[in-house]
A = this chain, B = another copy of it.
Amino acid sequence: MKLSCPDRVGIVAAVSGFLAEHKGWIVESQNHADPESKRFFMRQEILAESLRFDAEELRKRFESIASEFAMDFAVSDTAVLKKVLILVSKQAHCLDDLLYRLRSGEMEFNLQAVVSNHEDSRRFVEWHGVPYHHVPIETGNREGGFREMDKLFERYLPDVVVFARFMQILPAWMCEKYPRQMINIHHSFLPSFVGARPYHQAYERGVKYVGATCHYVTSRLDEGPIIEQDAFRTNHAHTVEELIRIGRDIEKAVLARGLRYHLEDRVLMNGIKTVVFA
């Protein structure tokens, strides 16, 4: 269960009183009061077996408290795997990484399909028994490509679309159609080096670290709410190619962590920022 509402006295008491009354066993509980936005954020992980009813019923019974405190709230059942669509272009290191985590059981989600503007990863994806859709984004007909892609979104109705190094800029209408549902890995330590070829920009600037950022996609390029970041030390001796190689390892780790937070409902929105109950 995750929720946010205007901050005031008694929120925790109301929520925890409600849960205690129904004998809900709290496995993990986190909250955050933002002094600036004056909002309160909370995440409660409750052992399903400790309740005598299901997630849907929990949601219903909680509604009177939610309306009393003007809460945005959501209840999700971890037994129901989230539906995921992965978008990829040519570089497949993030895709490979996520597929290993999936098939080894480290991460749990329902991978519906992989969509790509290239054919390169088909054989590997299909070996996993996962459908692979090739949707070309052609210079003369980019919009057509995205329309076709959107049809796949409407067909699969994924909970999350993961941009695992998908190197095309989505049209604004598409970004706005799926708010907080599309997660991107950008290959720089944002807000440094927005846009194309960030490793080249980092090389030109002579920075001493390269990094990666996992964020929600919005219609403003690389300005979506940041979920997770990391960086790794470099020096003058590294060529652009080496920065790219070093960066791949950061990208994989950062996307995996960011996606895990999202899948486990650990990310709440606070304006254009995130609250991540890691």
Contact = CB atoms under 8 A, between A and B. Distances in A.
A17 B206 CA distance: 32
Interface stretch (A109-117, A137-145, A184-192): A184-192
B13 A9 contact: no
Interface residues of A, number: 67
B106 A100 contact: no
Interface in A174-222: 189-193, 204-209, 211
Nearest to A47: B9
B24 A20 contact: no
A52 to B, nearest CB: 13
Copies of the protein in its oligomer: 4
Interface in A234-278: 235-237, 239, 245, 248-249, 253, 256, 270, 272-276, 278
A104 B127 contact: no
Given A100-B96, A236-B273, A248-B106, A229 B256 contact: no
A239 B28 CA distance: 12
Contacts of A129: none
Given A12-B16, A192-B189, A276 B235 contact: yes
Contacts of A235: 276, 278
Report whether over half of chain A's contact residues are helix, strand or loop; otherwise say mixed. mixed
A275 B234 CA distance: 12
B225 A206 contact: yes
A25 B12 CA distance: 11
Contact of A9 (B20, B127, B205): B20
Contacts of A93: 100, 104, 106
Contact of A23 (B9, B26, B229, B245): B9
A29 interface: yes
A66 interface: no
Contact of A275 (B96, B104, B236): B236
A253 B16 CA distance: 37
Given A28-B33, A206-B273, 11 more contacts: A13-B13, A13-B19, A16-B17, A28-B237, A93-B100, A106-B248, A191-B192, A205-B226, A208-B229, A235-B276, A236-B270
7 contacts: A9-B50, A34-B236, A93-B100, A191-B192, A191-B193, A204-B273, A205-B226
Q: Closest 3 A-B residue pairs measured CB to CB?
A: A206-B273, A13-B20, A12-B16
